[in-house]
């Protein structure tokens, strides 16, 4: 006899600007699969961009986002049902607090078989591909056998647990920057991911950590997380301020976490020759720049950062030890029934991280 109800409430994405609250049949656990009861699911910037119709999700005859699908990849919950073999396969029991990484790797492509699973060629992400990888904006969700599942200690709070996915991405991004003790690091963007990156970058103890954003309240929060200098492009001369810190050379590391095209060109301007530029954001529009800056003028090291490979256990450990926090980053929570207001708030500047709680 199943303890899970037959039906559940879920947000379902059908098309840009066409999301609906529906009753769906609860998923059933197959071989080596787990059903988790969702306790919270964050609304990511990519969820907002998908909702508004960004080309990267919807363009072409076979768009990457496969609708209708339950969105949401920043979820955590508790094991509610174990399929045959799942307890041994994942090392979990009913009632365990767990989180699955956002990617469901195929396990067969050249990237998966070489250990680079986060770049899986098939690239199913929870919340974007119907049937294969339904997301966490629902009361229950299915974790397939090829997912990567991690246990969360009971001491980790609800808000911290809901921020594990962004923090894991932040850790990977900061690791890609290869920050050294004498580096001047500039981080563009103090949204949820940027504020996670501030905390992780501070743990690397660079010489100076500079954070740029257009919202003063977020900059003040960045200072509490360890930023040495905060700058607002609306009133500060970013180039001049960074060059003052670096004897005129420019920053050693620039991390782009805004999703705004102007932040890319800004970074190429203020980074020193032979600097390391790390690009994380999801953009709603194409970005153009003079590529000769990258090669002929500065010989920059341009690095991308995608997802949070091998960093979920690190993020969980940092939360458990109190070295990072969700405090003042998670600003709002809404029930699933009020998802429209939650999405509207998450798309603006009056919130940082908004959670949906079934």
- Helices 216-224 & 192-203, crossing angle to 10 degrees? 30
3.40.50.720, 3.40.50.1110, 2.40.50.100, 3.90.180.10: CATH of 7-163+326-357: 3.90.180.10
Q: How far apart are the first and last CA of the chain?
A: 23
The rounded average pLDDT for each run of 10 residues, N- to C-terminus, in the chain (358 residues) is 86 95 96 98 92 86 90 97 97 98 97 98 95 95 98 97 98 98 98 97 98 96 98 97 98 96 96 98 84 96 98 98 97 96 92 96
Pairing of strands 140-143, 34-42: antiparallel
Residues paired with residue 36 on neighbouring β-strands, in sequence order? 79, 141
Q: What is the pLDDT, as a whole number, of residue 2? A: 66
Show the tokens assigned to 61: 């005859």
Neighbours of 75 (CB within 10 A): 29
Query: Would you state the torsion angle of the CA atoms of residues 185, 186, 192, 196, taken in this order, to the nearest 10 degrees?
Result: 10
Domains 7-163+326-357 and 170-304 share a fold: no
Q: What is the pLDDT, as a whole number, of residue 353? A: 97
Give residue limits of the domains in the chain.
7-163+326-357, 170-304
Exposed/middle/buried for residue 91 (C-beta within 10 Å: 0-12, 13-18, 19+): exposed
Residue range 170-304 forms a domain whose CATH class is alpha beta
DSSP letters of 305-348?
--S-TTTHHHHHHHHHTTSS--TTTEEEEEEGGGHHHHHHHHTS
Q: What is the pLDDT, as a whole number, of residue 316? A: 98
| Alpha helices for 145-229 (secondary structure H) | 158-162, 164-177, 192-203, 216-224
* Residue appearing with tokens 């609250």: 21
């Amino acid at each position: 006899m199943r303890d899970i109800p037959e039906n559940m409430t879920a947000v379902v994405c059908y098309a840009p600007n066409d999301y609906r609250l529906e009753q769906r049949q609860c998923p059933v656990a197959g071989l080596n699969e787990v059903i988790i009861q969702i306790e919270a699911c964050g609304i990511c910037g990519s969820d907002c961009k998908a909702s508004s119709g960004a080309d990267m999700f919807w363009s072409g005859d076979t768009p990457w986002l496969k609708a209708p699908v339950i969105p949401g990849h920043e979820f955590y919950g508790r094991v509610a049902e174990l399929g045959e073999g799942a307890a041994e396969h994942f090392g979990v029991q009913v009632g365990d607090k767990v989180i699955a990484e956002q990617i469901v790797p195929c396990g067969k492509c050249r990237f998966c078989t070489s250990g680079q699973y986060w770049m899986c060629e098939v690239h199913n992400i929870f919340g974007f591909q119907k049937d294969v990888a339904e997301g966490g904006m629902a009361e229950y969700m299915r974790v397939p056998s090829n997912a990567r599942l991690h246990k969360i200690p009971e001491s980790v709070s609800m808000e911290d647990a809901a921020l594990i996915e962004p923090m894991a991405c932040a850790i990977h991004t900061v690791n890609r920057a290869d920050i050294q003790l004498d580096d001047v690091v500039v981080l563009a963007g103090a949204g949820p991911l940027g504020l996670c990156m501030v905390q992780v970058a501070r743990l690397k103890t660079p010489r100076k950590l500079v954070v740029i954003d257009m919202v003063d309240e977020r900059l003040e929060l960045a200072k509490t997380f360890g930023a040495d200098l905060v700058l607002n492009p609306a009133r500060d001369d970013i180039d001049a301020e960074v060059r003052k810190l670096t004897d005129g050379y420019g920053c050693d590391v620039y991390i782009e976490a805004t999703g705004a095209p102007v932040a890319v060109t800004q970074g190429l301007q203020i980074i020193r020759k032979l600097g390391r530029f790390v690009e994380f954001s999801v953009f709603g529009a194409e970005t153009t720049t003079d590529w000769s800056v990258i090669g002929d003028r500065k010989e920059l090291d341009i690095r991308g950062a995608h997802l949070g490979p091998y960093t979920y256990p690190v993020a969980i450990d940092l939360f458990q030890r109190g070295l990072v926090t969700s405090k003042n980053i998670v600003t709002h929570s809404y029930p699933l029934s009020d998802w429209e207001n939650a999405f509207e708030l998450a798309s603006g500047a009056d919130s940082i991280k908004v959670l949906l709680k079934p």
